[in-house]
Amino acid sequence: MPIHGLAVYSPVTNHVTCLDGLNGPAQSIRPIIKDLISSARTSLAMVVAIAITPLEEAEVMQPLNGKFPNWVSSKDRKLLEASIKDIKANVVVATAGSGNYKTVKEAVASVPKNSNTLDDGMDSTIITGSLNIVDGTATFNSATLAAVGDGFIAQDIWFQNRAGPLKQQAVALRVGADQSVINRCRIDAYQDTLYTHSNRQFYRDCYITGTVDFIFGNAAVVFQN
């Protein structure tokens, strides 16, 4: 997707998500949000009406041929293609206290910006939660893990929402990060397992399970293998 198109699609998605989450007294600003959505859609229609250049068309149609997108740096490609045994951990999370931190939140807060998330394998390291819409959490906020920072990379990890089928919408992983890569990961829930919210996303060698609408969203996304 050309950058100018992406710049319009993403605000529309964000506005619609905001509108969906308005409840109680906040509903008074719904007309304002609707006007913003209308303006964004008008801009989108104008963008689509303009013919893209041959260079932009080549960018849109470029096949991956089993490889990573061109936004993935050579350094990151090397890391993503390495086996688990060849990767040395910088930070270890263990609830028993045997690692550097006891929670993933503490570990994430400690590392520099633009760091990647790598673990021991999709069947070994599990990030789990149980937030769901029946118990009062909006679908958008029910994600066990939400990634919004551009260039987000996750590898060899299991994201899970164990709320169960009776709890309806319960997201395991929500991604709104532009140019994100999810590699060799497992993503499990029942309804609305993977929320590919917005922007450009790439998934490779992932195992994704669910029952109802288990992959949904408005992202420009590629699933490989």
Residue 81 sits at the vertex; the CA angle it makes with 78 and 86, to the nearest 5 degrees, is: 85
Spot the catalytic one: 20, 35, 135, 213. Answer: 213
pLDDT over 60 at 72, yes or no: yes
Determine the average pLDDT of the residues in 163-174. 96
213 is catalytic: yes
pLDDT over 50 at 18, yes or no: yes
Mean pLDDT is highest, among 20-29, 46-55, 80-89, 156-165, for 156-165
Distances (CA, A) of 107 to 93, 100, 102, 111, 200: 7, 8, 8, 7, 26
Q: Which residue has the higher pLDDT, 27 or 61?
A: 27
Q: What are phi and psi of 29, to 5 degrees?
A: -95, 5
Q: How confident is the model at residue 116 (pLDDT cuts 50, 70, 90)?
A: low
pLDDT over 70 at 132, yes or no: yes
CB 144 within 8 A of CB 125: no
Q: How confident is the model at residue 176 (pLDDT cuts 50, 70, 90)?
A: very high
Q: How confident is the model at residue 107 (pLDDT cuts 50, 70, 90)?
A: confident
Q: How confident is the model at residue 92 (pLDDT cuts 50, 70, 90)?
A: confident
Determine the average pLDDT of the residues in 46-50. 67
Distances (CA, A) of 173 to 25, 32, 126, 134, 193: 29, 30, 12, 18, 7
Domain ranges of the chain: 15-223
pLDDT over 90 at 47, yes or no: no
Sheet with 220-224: list strands edge to edge: 117-118, 153-155, 180-183, 200-204, 220-224
Helices (H), the chain: 3-20, 30-49, 54-61, 74-81, 104-110
Q: How confident is the model at residue 55 (pLDDT cuts 50, 70, 90)?
A: very low
